[in-house]
Each structure stands twice: as structure tokens, then as C-alpha cells.
Structure 1
Amino acid sequence: MSAFPKIAIIGAGPSGLTLANILQRNQISFTVYENDASPNARNQGGTLDLHPDGGQLAIREAGLWDAFTTHARPESDVMKLVEMNGEVLWDENGPDKHEVPEEEKFAHRPEIDREALMQLLLAPLAPAAVKWGKKLKEVVPAAGETYDLHFVDGTVETGFGLVVGADGAWSKVRQLLTDEKPYYSGISAVEMWALDVNEKNKWLSQYVGQGNCFSFGEGRAIQAQRIGNGSIRTYACLRKPESFLKDCGIDWTKPETARKEFVERYFSDCGEDLKRIILEAEDELILRTLYMLPVGFRWESRPGVTLLGDAAHLMTPFAGVGVNAAMTDSLDLGRSIVAYKESPQEKSLADVVKDYELRLFPRGEKFAQKTMNGLNKHFSANGTQEMAGRFRAAYGK
């Protein structure tokens, strides 16, 4: 039997690290290459809800369920929906909260901070398995359907029989498979943080609640979410041209005045509480322009190269399925590689990759279409009412 192919995973996000854990658990060698200099080089983002048939299933396959239940926050699987005029249409916080029996808490969608998920996924991996500060320049085809990795620092790693692109929106690995690039989704967002709200701003803590607080309207949305470290992150989103954040005339280098001007221009007719969510998130301000890949995006299979997560199906966050789609990709590909290791005579690795992609494409299209539908509904005049109606129907209220 020939040696098992060398595997490179490009990107140490949820999809890349989930695949790494599944491979390690099955004694399959790999190396993860990550652009960031260290796990703490940048903020990892807000919070995620892992679905039982998505992220949770992948966590179980990776052997990390007990660790997940330690870090996850099932108490934050609650929703508050507020009309733009300030009327509360749905609230799962407080005494009327829908109670979930203890044994069913993880049967729903518990939240976990992105930072906690990253640490959970990194902890079991051998230190040498993840190489930090390795910004990929290009993947170069080499002899015998292998590939060499060329990095910006001038180093080259050679002889990979499988290169897995888990390198996100602007994937370098994707360039081997297609010329398709992400395009602007039509949505721009201002992300704002309020730290230590339990001590510093009890009103904000109580108003947002234990989970998510959303408000949708024609061409705009306000979304606030509880983070496990005691902070709240608010995202004020607008349907605007791609250059809006740069060209709108607001001086974002002065956050205090920028927040006030932003609210006065685009949210002045909103309820006072919703405006306070934005104005009192005073600790950080980050501008975000949201991109996506086309719904139904596909590529011609190429031996030795494939994609996971955002590299394969970048979508906006307006259905809450992105990380679950990504970790499902990792679960599917991981199982396929394990099966190939156990019975290499049944299929070639190229066939294994192609079969994985044939399952990936319709799955990714389903998630991407759900996200597009969510975007269109959320940024409509009746966005909050529509979501509240779905919750009432689900709970018989």
C-alpha cells in the first residue's frame, strides 16, 4: 500500500479545526496553516448557535461533546423581537420564558462564543499540527497530482495529496477551482460593543436579555446579542451601496459623535430603547461590508483540492446557519477521508473528494437560499412581524 496522502488544511476557523479534530481522532496526519500569528492575534467575533443536526453533530464526531457542554450557553437560546417603533412583539426572557427541561437543553440551539469554540477545537490538537503566521500566497500544482504551498514569508511546503481550503471569503485555494469571487450582498453594518454590561449598564443588560434582541424594517435592521464574557454586541445594518460606509460622510474615527450622527440619519424614527442599544454600545466600533457567493455556487471537481465553509458557500448571517453549514462540511469530508483510509481500494482519493462535493453543493445551496430568504425578509417593512409570527406558530401562541 502506498503512503497515505499528505493533507493540508488552510485556515484555523471552525471548519478547518473541526476537520482537524476528526482526522486526528482517527490517526490521520494533517497540517493546519493559519494566517493569524497566534490564536489570540485578533478578535474571533460574537456568538454562535450550534444546531443538533449541524455543529453539534460535528462536535460529537470530533469527540468534544463534554467540552462543548462546559462552554456552551443553553440559557442564551432565547429571542426578543422588537418593532422599529419600539413595540415588543416577542420575548422569551423573564417569567414567561418558554421553559426547557434540563435533559433537553442541548436538543435545541445553545449559544457558544466564537472564541470559546476556537479554544475548544484547538485544545486537543497536537501543537505541531497547527502552524501560525503562515499566510498563503498560492497553491501550485506539482508532480503526480500533488500540490505545493507557497507562503508570503517565502517558505514553501511540498507534496500534498489533498489541500482543503477552509480559508474563508477570499480563499486562495478557491482560485485553483474557479474564477468566481464573492460579491457585495447589499448590506453594510456597524458593529458596536458594550462591555461588562451587568456592572456598567444594567438597563442595557436587562433590555437585551439573555440571548438575541432583533428589530427589522424596510432596508435596515438592529441586532444585539449577549456574549458569554458579559458584553453585548450590537449590529446596526443598512441596505446601501457598497461604498456607503466610506462615502456617507460620517467620521468613524470619532466613535461617540459617529454613533449619534448614524442614529440621527438612519434610525431617528425608531423607538427610544432601540436607539439606546446603539448609542450605549460605547466600547468599540467596527465597520463591516457583507459579501456572499452566489446561491448554488459550484465548481468542477479537481483531484487533490476541495473547499469547506465560507470558502465553499460564503453567505450573510441572516439565517444563522453559516457555522453549522461549515461544520457539517467538515463532518462530511472527515468521514469520507476516514472511510478512504479504512478501504483505500474501493475508491481513489479523487473520487472521495468528488463524491463529497456532490453532497456539498445541494447542501450549500439549501443553506445559501435560506440565508438569502432571511436577508430579504429581515430587511422588509414587515420583517419583525413575520419572524414573530413564526415563533407564535411554533409555540402555539
Structure 2
Amino acid sequence: MGSLPKIAIIGGGPAGLTLANILQKNNIPFSLFERDASPNERNQGGTLDLHPKAGQAALRKAGLWDEFIQHARPESDVLKVVKPDGEVLWDGNAGQTPARQDDNNKNTDKFQRPEIDRQKLKDVLLRHLDERNLYYDKTLDSAVPNGQADSWNLHFRDGSIEKEFDLIVGAEGAWSRTRKLLTEIQPFYSGISAIELWALDVNEKHSWMVEYVGQGSLFSFGEGRTIQIQRIGDGSIRTYACLRKPEGFIKDCGIDWTQPDAACRELVERYYDDCGADLKRMILNSTDNLIPRPLYMLPVGIKWNPRPGVTLLGDAAHLMTPFAGVGVNAAMLDALELGNSLVDLKMGKIQTLSQAIEKYEHGLFPRGQAFAQKTINNLKVHFSADGCNHLSMDS
């Protein structure tokens, strides 16, 4: 190519921001385009754990490890499992562990898989990026081949055009427009709808929740429904009531989701009335915010034929449901591997941009398939009558 490629990253979530940090650290120029008007326009979600060979490795490569550990919450990597009838199957806060331990439980290093709030992770990823390379309120409308060279022109919904990019990296999530350059496959409904419920200032307003949930997460699995609860570092707790229902459930069920108190009462009466008292109370008292959403996914094992100058990261490449807790780790690992390929291109270890993309996608497809299959397996188990008992077998 004779010079470094001109790179456009579409999307400012964990995948896009991780890649941007790796490129910046290695003096590889890029432009990142994000549809939100500002970095914190939207709620970033709850908490997650970053795995040593995925999210943590990407942060190390980007030079952000020290800052990450300042905001991580290793004490929150604790699990409590409660059967739907309220029986506590085990409680990591009391030192109990599952009968069969996975890799997470075997390692005693407190930073093996620490929790971090999604908002804090985004803050870490944004803090050291050169703002001159970040463009907000930029929604991609289309990417058009440049007739004068083997490059792309980007057309945005505000009418602006950015020209002559050698590489477009689609990291804009579930409904990626970049994906349309590579495949006609689109996300489909997973069969699960989730109701996200917030309880704010729990130490002052709901101290019983703090004691009941513990320091980390509480899971309750059953036939066709789950309750998953997370402690957040800002003093709030988020409860996710998930149901196996038809795609139109949220719109067609007749519950007015704009009225959280009434909606939570009706949700419990219809779908959780036979649950333990404290599980029901978690839903009934978590009314500070309510967000209903159907969950979508891409087919397990999605692939596409290579196309010069285009590739995908994260949800754009392998959208999956959250029931294995690997989505952000998969996205950041994608960014790490693509970043490594582009660094190799810069160093002359790879000769062409097409070869760099081919190397990245050669690992992307089987890796994405493995993560997605794990999520499918967990979904089936979690929404089964014996889901809590099977939790210790999840790898």
C-alpha cells in the first residue's frame, strides 16, 4: 500500500473504542463515527466481568490496565443462586461455591475476572483518546465504493460525506449498516424478552435489597422465565425479568410499561406470582426506571465472503443474547485481534490490507461461533425447570 491505510471505525461502543485505543497507542490513524450526539447520551447498561484472555488482554494492549483496575470491583465477582420458590441454592457471599466449579471459581486471584460497570468501562476507553479523531452525531447511511480508487466514501444522514477510506470497520451493534456490505443476514428474535428494572440509592431507600442480593449478582432460573439481579457501583441495583414469549409480547401483552409501579405489579401477578416473596419484592420495588426490550441474535456460525476494505467487530459480527456473559469480552477480543493484524501490517509482517483482514477474519468466525453457541446452550438451560441446578455446570 505504501502508506498506512485510512481507517473508519463505525460505532463508539466497547468494540470500536477498544480498537481506537489500540490503534492510537500504535500510532495508526483512524476516524471514529458514532451516531449518538455525545459519549454519554444513552444509558450504558449494568455491570460485566472482563476475562483475562479477552477484555483484560485488550485493555493491556491498549495501555489501559492501570486505569481499569482503579475502577474494577473484584469484590462484586460473587454469585448467589436462588430457586424460583425462594430457596437459596448457594450464596457466594457466605463463602459457598457451586458443586462443580468452572474456571471462574477455581482461580483465587482477585483480578481473575473482576466486575466493572459498563459506564466506567466506557469512561476508561474514552479518557485518553484524541477527541480530534472522534465524530459524534454521525449516523452512517451508506458506504459507496470510490470510483477513483479501491476505497470507500461514507454518506451520513446529516448529509455529510467522508471520502476515501481504505478500511471500514463496522462496530455499530445489532443493526449494523456496515454488515449489509458483507451479507444479507439480519438479526432475528431470540424468543426472549427482558424487562430491565432499576432501584436507585438502595443503601438509603432499600437496605434490605443490599442484604438480600449481596455484593455481586443474584440469579434465579426457571421454566420459561428468569430473574437476574446485579449490584452497580453507583449504589443502584438492576433487576432483569426475562420471559420466553413471542416477539410482539412487549407491545401486545397489554401492560403499560410507561407506568413502572403498575407495570411491575402486573408483571408479578401474571408471570412471577408463584415465586418466593423476596424475588417478587425485588421486582415490585425496582420502579425508578423500566426498560422493556426484545432480545435479538445472529445465527450461530455466521460467516461472509471477504470484501476488500470492510470487516466487522462485536455485535455487528456475532450478535448474541446475554445469557453467557461473553458479549463485551467477545467484542473487545475482536478489537484486539484486528488491532494486532493492523499493527502487523504497519510493521511489515503482513504485506497487504486484504491479508490483514483475512488473518483477522480467519480467527473471528470460529471464535464468534464458539461464543454464540455457549450463549445458546446457556439460554436453553437457564429457561428450563432445572435451570438453577444446572448453573454450576455452565463453562
Per the normalisation by structure 2, the TM-score is 0.96
Question: How far 1:96 sits from its partner (Å)?
Answer: 5.4
Question: How far 1:390 sits from its partner (Å)?
Answer: 3.3
Question: How far 1:4 sits from its partner (Å)?
Answer: 1.6
What is the distance in 2 between the residues matched to 1:241 and 1:378?
Answer: 18
Question: 1:106 is paired with a residue of what secondary structure?
Answer: coil
CA offsets, 1:343-370, max 9 Å, x none?
Answer: 06x4211111012111100000000000
Matches within 5 A, 1:196-235: 196-235=201-240
Q: Which residue of 2 aligns with 1:128?
A: 132
What is the distance in 1 between the residues matched to 2:315 and 2:358?
Answer: 19
Q: Which residue of 1 aligns with 2:287?
A: 282
Question: How far 1:94 sits from its partner (Å)?
Answer: 3.6
Question: 1:9 is paired with a residue of what secondary structure?
Answer: strand
Question: 1:104 is paired with a residue of what secondary structure?
Answer: coil
Q: Which residue of 1 aligns with 2:376?
A: 372
What is the distance in 1 between the residues matched to 2:95 and 2:376?
Answer: 34
Residues 1:323 and 1:163: Cα distance change in structure 2 (over 3 Å): same
What is the distance in 2 between the residues matched to 1:258 and 1:4?
Answer: 54
* Residue 389 (structure 2) pairs with residue 385 (structure 1): yes
Contact 2:90 2:97 in 1 (8 A): no
Question: How far 1:239 sits from its partner (Å)?
Answer: 0.3
Q: Which residue of 2 aligns with 1:193?
A: 198
Q: Which residue of 2 aligns with 1:262?
A: 267
What is the distance in 1 between the residues matched to 2:393 and 2:164?
Answer: 52
CA offsets, 1:267-318, max 9 Å, x none?
Answer: 0000101101111102000011000000000111101000000000000000
Q: Any unmatched runs of 5+ in structure 1?
A: none
Q: Which residue of 2 aligns with 1:77?
A: 77
Question: How far 1:3 sits from its partner (Å)?
Answer: 2.6
Residues 1:262 and 1:22: Cα distance change in structure 2 (over 3 Å): same
Question: How far 1:97 sits from its partner (Å)?
Answer: 7.8
What is the distance in 2 between the residues matched to 1:22 and 1:285?
Answer: 36
Per the normalisation by structure 1, the TM-score is 0.95
Q: Any unmatched runs of 5+ in structure 2?
A: 99-104
Structure 1 stretch displaced more, 164-173 or 133-142: 133-142
* Residue 337 (structure 2) pairs with residue 307 (structure 1): no
How many residues are treated as equivalent by the alignment? 389
The one-letter code of the counterpart of 2:266 is: E
The one-letter code of the counterpart of 1:355 is: K
Q: Which residue of 1 aligns with 2:340?
A: 335
Contact 2:90 2:96 in 1 (8 A): no
What is the distance in 2 between the residues matched to 1:201 and 1:273?
Answer: 12
CA offsets, 1:234-292, max 9 Å, x none?
Answer: 00000000000111111212211111011000000001011011111020000110000
Question: How far 1:232 sits from its partner (Å)?
Answer: 0.4
Q: Which residue of 2 aligns with 1:20?
A: 20
Question: 2:169 is paired with a residue of what secondary structure?
Answer: strand
Contact 2:9 2:171 in 1 (8 A): yes
What is the distance in 2 between the residues matched to 1:95 and 1:156?
Answer: 57
**Percent sequence identity over matched residues?**
62
Q: Which residue of 2 aligns with 1:360?
A: 364
* Residue 292 (structure 2) pairs with residue 292 (structure 1): no
CA RMSD of superposed structures (Å): 1.8
Question: How far 1:101 sits from its partner (Å)?
Answer: 12
1:242 alignment partner, one of 240, 247, 262: 247
Residues 1:267 and 1:101: Cα distance change in structure 2 (over 3 Å): closer
Residues 1:202 and 1:57: Cα distance change in structure 2 (over 3 Å): same
What is the distance in 2 between the residues matched to 1:64 and 1:340?
Answer: 23
What is the distance in 1 between the residues matched to 2:203 and 2:94?
Answer: 16
Contact 2:142 2:156 in 1 (8 A): yes
What is the distance in 1 between the residues matched to 2:106 and 2:200?
Answer: 31
Question: 1:81 is paired with a residue of what secondary structure?
Answer: strand
Question: 1:184 is paired with a residue of what secondary structure?
Answer: strand
CA offsets, 1:325-382, max 9 Å, x none?
Answer: 10000000000000001106x4211111012111100000000000000000000000
The one-letter code of the counterpart of 2:145 is: P
Q: Which residue of 2 aligns with 1:5?
A: 5
Residues 1:86 and 1:357: Cα distance change in structure 2 (over 3 Å): same
Q: Which residue of 2 aligns with 1:154?
A: 159
What is the distance in 2 between the residues matched to 1:97 and 1:216?
Answer: 17
Residues 1:115 and 1:274: Cα distance change in structure 2 (over 3 Å): same
Q: Which residue of 2 aligns with 1:326?
A: 331
The one-letter code of the counterpart of 1:361 is: F
Question: How far 1:103 sits from its partner (Å)?
Answer: 8.5
What is the distance in 2 between the residues matched to 1:145 and 1:178?
Answer: 20
What is the distance in 1 between the residues matched to 2:179 and 2:107?
Answer: 43
Question: How far 1:156 sits from its partner (Å)?
Answer: 0.3
What is the distance in 1 between the residues matched to 2:256 and 2:137?
Answer: 33
The one-letter code of the counterpart of 1:278 is: I
The one-letter code of the counterpart of 2:387 is: G
What is the distance in 2 between the residues matched to 1:248 and 1:272?
Answer: 24
The one-letter code of the counterpart of 2:128 is: P
Contact 2:260 2:288 in 1 (8 A): no
CA offsets, 1:166-199, max 9 Å, x none?
Answer: 0000001001001100000000011000001111
